[in-house]
């Protein structure tokens, strides 16, 4: 579903977080938003999913979401946001319970979503029994169960260790090969952006503006191949040169706040 | 190369480990020491009766039905008092936790009335409800109400905001967010509040019964003191301890079953 961010600005009181951001996102595209701490990338994601009201500007969409999408704009959260008192299956079911859905379709959707994330054997487990990686898989399963048209990922792998992050990147790519959604992926991790995104939008430090947009022509599914290692390295280097000074300034700014 | 020496160990400790037997051993040693001192004539029987005498008194009170009469009267006050205070307190506290307007309206009143020792209101409640049961039940209910309100609304505050945002992002209606996210999330805080309100209820029960009651553990303890029947007095105190332990055990098992996910 094509999305259009039209001159969006946002402030928290006197603090300006986002300044005049405009961007078109094509159907089925994966766009990564990166930038230094406090650049407003999570704010922009909140505005996209209707959790935050922009101070000015608007987000529009063209076309209608697919008929089977129960929650067109769906988030995957950095801290997983699982209900600790619900089992894995019940956490996934939470997204469906208030929707008009037959019991059998509900069961099928939950089973399919757990299978796609490798959680079928953990349906009855509670979040505290799971590792961070498995918990985020529950978050992914809960997002997939509503068949989102736009998947909004808010630093989904930031709370995970490096090895788990690597595994989940592979999982996300495998899922994305089957699930046709538009994705907006907020991260501060340059490697995640280079591996997962079709287009990388680099934001400046606060107030966030678009500094640059980098398009990667190699399809995400092929980026793991060794012949593209140089390309990823090159993207990484370009991103870092764009962000480095700003990140350093933002870092010193955060110290003072 | 010089001689190899082991690195001295300096970790460990500061980590409570359960010891199964020790609590019982200490408990029985204390009782035994008390009994030994009484038997040796070191404790005057009138001021500090021996454990055997207290158990004896308990047995007599149990067999002649006095104990059941007093305990029954006490339970008939503390149970309805606690239930009324908890019910109304939860309703008010959850409303204050969920609705800003209810909080703005309720918080000043609760803050002003919470510090009053509720037993001070017993004379007024007697004027309102008479000297009988309702005034005692009302005192207990009032004493339970305020801590329940406070624990309920702070328990709502302690529910992580990101879980509520998650609920909104999946399009959950507000009633579902309250029922499926806020209430279960507030449960640990609410149940912790029950422990506090139960101990407040026990305190007020005894105080109210000492002020004006014919039956009840508080009235019994007071009467025994007036007659210098210290063995019966301590038997009443032991009953209070047992009552408190039973309440705390009951709440503990409720916590374990409701909060199994922790």
Torsion of CA B31, B37, B41, B44, to 10 degrees: -60
Is A84 in CB contact (< 8 Å) with chain B? yes
Per-residue pLDDT band at A1 (split at 50, 70, 90): confident
Tokens for A252? 């010193």
Sequence-separated contacts (24+) of A173-177 with Cβ below 8 Å: A173/A220, A173/A221, A175/A116, A175/A117, A175/A140, A175/A144, A176/A30, A176/A220, A177/A221
Q: Do B169 and A74 touch (CB under 8 A)?
A: yes
Residue B215 main-chain phi, psi, to 5 deg: -120, 160
Question: Of the given ranges (A81-90, A152-161, A212-221, B177-186), which has the lowest mean pLDDT?
Answer: A212-221
Is A124 in CB contact (< 8 Å) with chain B? no
Number of helical (H) and strand (E) elements in chain B, helices listed first: 11, 0
Q: Quick one: pLDDT at residue A72?
A: 92
Residue B218 main-chain phi, psi, to 5 deg: -60, -45
Per-residue pLDDT band at B217 (split at 50, 70, 90): very high
Q: Quick one: pLDDT at residue B1?
A: 64
Q: Do B173 and A98 touch (CB under 8 A)?
A: yes
**C-alpha distance from B104 to closest chain A C-alpha (Å):** 23
Q: How far is Cα A63 from Cα A27, in angstroms, rounded to an integer?
A: 10
Q: Quick one: pLDDT at residue A222?
A: 86
Substitution target in A65, A70, A98 with the highest count of B β-carbons within 10 Å is A98
Residue with tokens 């301590």: B234
Q: Give the mean pLDDT of chain A.
A: 91
Write the pLDDT tens digit of every residue in A187-221: 989 999 999 999 999 998 878 889 899 999 888 88
Q: How far is Cα B150 from Cα B152, in angstroms, rounded to an integer?
A: 5
Contact list in A for residue B168 (CB cut-off 8 A) is 51
Q: Do A71 and B172 touch (CB under 8 A)?
A: no
**C-alpha distance from B170 to closest chain A C-alpha (Å):** 6
Q: For A220, which DSSP code?
A: G
Q: Quick one: pLDDT at residue B129?
A: 93
Tokens for A220? 């995400």
The residue-averaged pLDDT of B130-149 equals 95
Q: Do B172 and A94 touch (CB under 8 A)?
A: yes
Q: For A73, which DSSP code?
A: E
Is A105 in CB contact (< 8 Å) with chain B? no
Tokens for B261? 């996910």
Q: Please count the other Cβ atoms lying within 10 Å of the Cβ belonging to residue B188.
A: 17
Residue A37 main-chain phi, psi, to 5 deg: -55, 140
The residue-averaged pLDDT of A119-135 equals 95
Tokens for A200? 């990388």
Q: Quick one: pLDDT at residue A64?
A: 83
Max avg pLDDT among A28-37, A216-225, B4-13, B172-181: B172-181
Domain boundaries defined on chain B: 54-258
Residue A228 main-chain phi, psi, to 5 deg: -100, 5
**Judged by CB atoms within 8 Å, which residues 35-54 of A form the interface with B?**
49, 51
Q: Do A79 and B162 touch (CB under 8 A)?
A: yes
Q: How far is Cα B183 from Cα B153, in angstroms, rounded to an integer?
A: 11
Q: Quick one: pLDDT at residue B188?
A: 94
Q: Do B163 and A85 touch (CB under 8 A)?
A: no
Q: Of A78, A13, A15, A11, nearest to A47 (Cα)?
A: A11
The residue-averaged pLDDT of B200-222 equals 95
Q: Quick one: pLDDT at residue A68?
A: 83
Residue of B nearest to A143 (CA): B170
- The secondary element (H helix, E strand) that includes residue A43 is helix A41-48
Tokens for B226? 């007036």
Q: Quick one: pLDDT at residue A36?
A: 82
Is A95 in CB contact (< 8 Å) with chain B? yes
Tokens for B235? 């038997």
Q: How far is Cα A10 from Cα B90, in angstroms, rounded to an integer?
A: 39
More confident residue, A19 or B70: B70
Q: Which residues contact B197 (CB under 8 A, 6 or more apart)?
A: B82, B85, B86, B89, B143, B144, B147, B148, B151
**Cα angle vertex B69, ends B64, B74, to 5°?**
145
Residues on chain B bordering chain A, Cβ-to-Cβ distance under 8 angstroms: 162-163, 165-173, 176, 180-181, 184-185, 187, 259, 261-262
Q: Quick one: pLDDT at residue A39?
A: 79
Q: Of B134, B149, B139, B113, nearest to B205 (Cα)?
A: B139
Q: Quick one: pLDDT at residue A255?
A: 56
The residue-averaged pLDDT of A153-174 equals 94
Q: How far is Cα B97 from Cα B154, in angstroms, rounded to an integer?
A: 7
Q: Of A174, A136, A182, nearest to A155 (Cα)?
A: A136
Is A97 in CB contact (< 8 Å) with chain B? yes
Domain architecture of chain A: domains with CATH: 3-65+150-256 (3.40.50.300), 81-148 (no CATH)
Tokens for B136? 């005692």
Q: Do B171 and A98 touch (CB under 8 A)?
A: yes
Per-residue pLDDT band at A147 (split at 50, 70, 90): very high
Task: Give this prediction's pTM.
Answer: 0.87
Q: How far is Cα A193 from Cα B19, in angstroms, rounded to an integer?
A: 53
**C-alpha distance from B167 to closest chain A C-alpha (Å):** 8
Residue with tokens 């159907």: A27
Write the pLDDT tens digit of every residue in B28-58: 999 999 999 999 999 898 899 999 999 999 9
The helix/strand/coil state of A8 is strand
Evaluated on CA atoms B173, B175, B177, B180, the torsion sign reads negative
Note if the bond before A196 is cis, omega within 30 degrees.
Answer: no
Predicted confidence (pLDDT) at residue A256 exceeds the cutoff of 60: no
* Residue environment code for B190-218, b if the CB has 16+ CB neighbours within 10 A, otherwise e: bbebbbebbebbbbbbbbbbbbebebbbb
- Minimum-distance CB partner of A126 among B166, B187, B261: B261
Question: What's the CATH fold of domain B54-258?
Answer: MetI-like fold (1.10.3720)
- Minimum-distance CB partner of A83 among B163, B168, B262: B163
Q: How far is Cα B47 from Cα B49, in angstroms, rounded to an integer?
A: 6
Question: What DSSP assignment string belongs to B167-204?
Answer: HHHTT--HHHIIIIIIHHHHHHHHHHHHHHHHHHHHHH
Question: Of the given ranges (A132-136, B43-47, B109-113, B176-180), which has the lowest mean pLDDT?
Answer: B43-47
The residue-averaged pLDDT of A79-97 equals 96
Q: Do A77 and B180 touch (CB under 8 A)?
A: no
Q: Quick one: pLDDT at residue A179?
A: 85
Q: Quick one: pLDDT at residue A15?
A: 83
Per-residue pLDDT band at A257 (split at 50, 70, 90): very low
B74 with B217: CB under 8 angstroms? yes
Q: Give the mean pLDDT of chain B.
A: 94
Q: How far is CA A36 from the centre of its chain?
A: 17
Predicted confidence (pLDDT) at residue B186 exceeds the cutoff of 50: yes
| Strand pairing report for A182-186 and A30-34 | parallel
**Cα angle vertex B106, ends B105, B111, to 5°?**
125
Q: How far is Cα B137 from Cα B84, in angstroms, rounded to an integer?
A: 9
**Cα angle vertex A35, ends A29, A38, to 5°?**
125
- The secondary element (H helix, E strand) that includes residue A213 is strand A210-215
CB pairs under 8 A between A and B: 49
């Amino acid at each position: 579903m094509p999305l259009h961010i039209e001159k969006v600005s946002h402030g928290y009181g006197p603090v300006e977080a986002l300044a005049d951001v405009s961007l078109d996102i094509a159907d089925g595209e994966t766009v990564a938003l990166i930038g230094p701490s406090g650049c407003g990338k999570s704010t922009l994601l909140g505005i996209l999913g209707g959790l935050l009201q922009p101070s000015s500007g608007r987000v529009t969409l063209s076309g209608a979401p697919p008929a089977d999408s129960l929650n067109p704009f769906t988030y995957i959260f950095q801290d997983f946001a699982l209900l600790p008192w619900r089992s894995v299956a019940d956490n996934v079911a939470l997204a469906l319970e208030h929707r008009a859905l037959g019991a059998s379709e509900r069961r099928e959707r939950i089973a399919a979503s757990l299978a796609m994330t490798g959680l079928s054997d953990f349906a009855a487990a509670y979040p505290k029994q799971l590792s961070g990686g498995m918990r985020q898989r529950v978050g992914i399963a809960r997002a997939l169960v509503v068949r989102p048209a736009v998947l909004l990922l808010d630093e989904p792998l930031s709370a995970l260790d490096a090895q788990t992050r690597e595994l989940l990147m592979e999982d996300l790519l495998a899922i994305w090969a089957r699930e046709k959604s538009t994705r907006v992926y907020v991260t501060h991790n340059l490697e995640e952006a280079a591996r997962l995104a079709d287009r990388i939008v680099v934001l400046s430090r606060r107030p966030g503006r678009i500094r640059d947009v980098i398009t990667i022509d190699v399809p995400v599914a092929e980026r793991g191949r060794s012949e593209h290692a140089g390309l990823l390295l090159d993207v990484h280097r370009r991103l870092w040169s764009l962000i480095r000074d700003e990140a350093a300034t933002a870092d010193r700014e955060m110290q003072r706040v | 190369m010089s001689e190899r020496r082991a690195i001295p160990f300096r970790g460990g400790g500061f980590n409570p480990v359960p010891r199964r037997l020790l609590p019982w051993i200490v408990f029985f040693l204390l009782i035994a020491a008390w009994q030994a001192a009484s038997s040796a004539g070191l404790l005057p029987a009138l001021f500090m009766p021996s454990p055997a005498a207290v158990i004896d008194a308990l047995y007599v009170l149990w067999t002649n039905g006095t104990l059941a009469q007093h305990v029954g009267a006490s339970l008939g006050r503390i149970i309805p008092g606690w239930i009324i205070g908890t019910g109304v307190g939860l309703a008010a506290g959850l409303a204050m936790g969920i609705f800003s307007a209810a909080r703005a309206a309720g918080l000043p009143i609760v803050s002003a009335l919470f510090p009053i020792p509720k037993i001070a209101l017993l004379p007024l409640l007697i004027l309102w409800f008479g000297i009988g049961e309702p005034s005692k039940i009302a005192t207990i209910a009032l004493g339970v109400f305020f801590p329940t309100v406070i624990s309920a609304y702070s328990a709502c505050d302690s529910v992580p905001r990101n879980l509520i945002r998650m609920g909104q992002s999946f399009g959950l209606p507000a009633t579902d967010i309250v029922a499926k996210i806020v209430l279960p999330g507030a449960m640990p805080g609410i149940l912790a509040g029950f422990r506090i309100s139960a101990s407040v209820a026990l305190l007020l029960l005894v105080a109210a019964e000492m002020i004006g009651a014919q039956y009840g553990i508080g009235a019994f303890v007071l009467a025994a003191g007036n007659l210098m029947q210290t063995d019966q007095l301590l038997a009443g105190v032991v009953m209070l301890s047992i009552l408190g332990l039973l309440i705390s055990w009951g709440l503990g098992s409720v916590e374990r079953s409701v909060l199994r996910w922790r």
